[in-house]
Chain A
């Protein structure tokens, strides 16, 4: 079954419910990781990286905006409100992606952790790639079409983060040690990125996306050569130590981020941007 038009979608309440859930996961993931990326502006290790990282962040925020737009088209509310006006318990992003970049604040004494940034972004971007590849065959045609476009931009993001990952791990010494620690830390919550949440099975049944197991296997397959090349051990199990963001479980980091990023929005929610 392929759903092309909104009229068809509105005839299928269960299908629509699963689709909405999936779109919120995709949108909220990109939205919050792009927000964390924007906090790095001016703080990246060198000027070229500052240009690159902010360009990736801009693309990623564009992807989030487009998923919110798809939700708006379905009748879920204005894209701007969906991005800025929802509380933490309504968010569907993975907990790993909401975590602060490190101690301190971006305005005063940021002690951000570049190793964590590289590992989180590489692992996430690879997971996004696996998801997008699957979504190219999504039964909801508007999402399948968007996936083709996102995929082209993602190509450069993935290359970027993979390069950083390999170079830092293979650099040895302190770099390798810090990267190894970051890998360990990221795996503690990485199961949350690959999770499809409580409605995951319904999504698969509706032909929206491949199952968690399939996505996970593809992710492992994609990173395996990189782990071999860097002589790192690839675990077969990941964790969700702080809960599953897909089901609305979140940390104080997200609450604080939402308060900051929606400050201007909340002054006048009806303003046109």
Chain B
């Protein structure tokens, strides 16, 4: 049953980046099924993310449609903390398709990060604004293909 639930969660997309699922984002920490009740523990990417309520509703919707599920409980927990390295390889690919650079796997000792342009793969890019249209994104500019683009902020435990 848990496998079935997991598969269903792959259909729940991030309301702000609708090509990527919450599973690919690494937000799903735990799924349990007890006596008809599906209990899903999710890790918020950012604490104040306004999309969390929508995600909760979508999870409830998708799981309660499954046969045998009588009740759905969605819980947001903070431990372990969500970090950007939880995004799966597939998730990173989908971000690129959406025109968003995946978060760098490594950042320098001074916090600087190398980001590849999702359009032309050039690393000749410039950060325009560390803060973007949503809590988790930053704004970059590619000097190679001259496109502005967004990148997911690295979020890591050493910070």
Q: Which residues of A contact B (CB under 8 A)?
A: 48, 51-52, 55-56, 58-63, 65-66, 145-146, 148-156, 159-160
Contacts and interface: CB of A to CB of B under 8 A. Distances in A.
Given A51-B131, A65-B48, A151-B159, A145 B79 contact: yes
B81 A51 contact: no
Contacts of B128: 48
Choose among B81, B82, B83, B155 the residue with the greatest number of A CB atoms under 10 Å from its CB: B81
Interface residues of B, number: 25
Contact of A159 (B50, B129, B130, B133): B130
B78 interface: yes
Given A149-B82, A156-B131, 18 more contacts: A55-B131, A58-B48, A59-B46, A59-B48, A60-B48, A62-B47, A62-B48, A62-B49, A62-B135, A66-B78, A145-B79, A148-B78, A149-B47, A152-B81, A152-B157, A159-B130, A160-B130, A160-B131
Contact of A155 (B50, B139, B159): B159
A148 B48 contact: no
Nearest to A57: B48
A63 B48 CA distance: 7
Contacts of B50: 58
Contacts of A156: 130-131, 153
B156 A152 contact: yes
B15 interface: no
